[in-house]
Amino acid sequence: MLRAFMTYVRGHHVALLALFLALGGTSYAAASLINGSQIKPHSIPKNRLTKGAISSLHGAKGAQGTPGERGPTGAQGVPGQNGHKGATGAKGPTGPAGLGSLDNIQNLPCTPEGATGEASVFYLSGGPSNPNDANSSGSAQWQTLIACLTPDDLEQNNSKETATNATGFIDDFGQRWAAGTIYPSGDEDWYKLTATDLSDGVIDLYTVTADTVMDVYEDAGPNPVATDVYTYDPGPGAHDWLIRVYSTRPDLYFLAFNDAVASRSTGRPTSAKLQHLVPSYERVHG
C-alpha cells in the first residue's frame, strides 16, 4: 500500500507540487486581507473601483443656487421675408354722396340739446365792393351762417288767438323786445301789447333774410295798418297792438317794440342799451 502511494507521488510530483502552491497561495491571500483603517486616504484610484461602488459614493442633491445675472441681449436676427400678398377683397357698398355744396346742408336734421330741428344756410353780404357801387346789398366779403332752427320757446303763438302777450317783456334797461324763429316753413309768430304807448320809438324787425317781414294791427282792427314792413312808427298815444311776423322760408329774427329810431350812418339802433341784444348776424331793415 505504501509502495503504491510512493510510486504515485514520484510519478505525479510535479502536479502535486503545483497544487500545493496554488492552495497555499490562496490561503495566504485570505489570511492577508486588510481593513479600511489600513488604507491611506486618497490612495485608491477610481479605475480600481466597481461601477456600483462609484455610484454609491454620490451624496444627496444640494439646494438650487441663486440664478445668475441675465446676460446681454443678443444681436437682432435677420428679418424674415415678406409673405405673399393676399387676394383683393370684394368691393364694399358705395357710400353716400358728399355734400358738394353748402346749399346741400339746407334742411338737414339737427338736434341741439335734444331739440329736433333743421339746418338752414344764410348768405350775408359784407357790403359794397367800392364807393360807386349802387348795389346796397353789396358783393364783397360774403359770409355764410349755418343755423339749426327749432321752434322757439314762445310757441304756440301762430294765430291772433294764441298771440304772445309781450306787454311785460321789459328788461332791466326799460327795453321791450322778443326774439324767435320762423320754423318750420310756413310758421308765423303773433305778438300783442295791451294799452301800450310806443310814441317814444318805433317797432323794428331785425332779420337774417329779406323774406321775413311783419304786419301791424292797431286797436284790434280787422285790417293791418302796415303790411310787409320791417319798421313801423306807432305815433302818439296808448293802443292795443298786434304784430304778425312771417316769412316764405325759415329764419331768425329780433323784434324791438320801443327801439329808438335807427341811425342813418350805421342802420343800427341808436339806443346803446338795446344794441348789444341784436345778434351780429342779423341784418337791419329800416
The span from the CA of 6 to the CA of 16, in Å, is 12
CA angle, 281 then 284 then 286, to 5°: 175
What's residue 179's pLDDT? Answer: 92
Please report which confidence band the pLDDT of residue 195 belongs to, taking 50, 70 and 90 as the band edges: very high
Please, what is the average pLDDT of the chain?
79
Q: What is the mean pLDDT of residues 104-115?
A: 87
CB-based burial label for 138 (10 Å; 0-12, 13-18, 19+): middle
Q: Return the pLDDT at 49.
A: 65
Rounded Cα–Cα distance for residues 185 and 166 (Å): 23
Helix or strand run (H / E) with residue 30: helix 13-31
State the Cα–Cα distance between residues 193 and 238, nearest whole angstrom.
Answer: 10
Copy the grid coordinates of residue 158: 301762430
- Report helix, strand or coil for 35: coil
CB contact at 8 A, 220 and 242:
yes
Q: What is the mean pLDDT of residues 154-161?
A: 93
Nearest CA to 188 out of 125, 250, 268, 97 is that of 250
pLDDT-based confidence at 280, cuts 50/70/90? confident
Q: What's the grid cell of residue 23?
A: 492552495
How confident is the model at residue 165, as a pLDDT?
Answer: 96
214: pLDDT strictly greater than 70: yes
C-alpha 260/C-alpha 271 separation (Å) is 6
Whether the pLDDT of residue 192 is over 90: the answer is yes
